[in-house]
Amino acid sequence: MLNNLKSGDWVIYRKQKVSSSPGPRAQSTVPAAKGESYNYIVEKFWVVCAVADGMAELITRRGKRHQVALDDHRLRRARWWERLIHGSRFRAVQEQTSHGTRTENEGVLSQG
């Protein structure tokens, strides 16, 4: 359990996915029973937005927010060497939050 997690911490979440063609970052790839698709794990590099009541609110590079229990075994704090190697991924999330997330009504280009 990540008791001392706080806002701004860098975490890695191991998300389970299913697809007919896993990407290059897929790990633990296992074919489905009938061979139509694959089950696999992808490491997501997210930043903690808030922590309350045993849950962590995590933010993605594109501004999506996820609620994850602090005792979820797929959630862990980034190790020092992961922070070094994958730092640009975490910084991309922090840039997204510092610029604020766009709403669905806002366009890509601003007028003015």
Is residue 87 domain-resident? yes
Is residue 49 one of the residues assigned to a domain?
A: yes
Helices of type H across 50-99: 80-85, 87-99
Domain assignment of residue 84, yes or no: yes
Q: Which domain holds residue 38?
A: 10-99
Whether 74 maps to a domain, the answer reads yes
45: nearest Cα among 5, 18, 23, 77: 77
Q: How many domains does the chain have?
A: 1
Q: Has residue 38 been placed in a domain?
A: yes
Residue 89 DSSP symbol: H
- Is residue 2 assigned to a domain? no
Per-residue pLDDT of the chain (112 residues; tens, 9 = 90+): 567 899 889 999 999 999 999 999 999 999 988 888 999 999 999 999 999 999 999 999 888 999 999 999 999 999 899 888 888 888 888 777 666 544 433 333 333 3
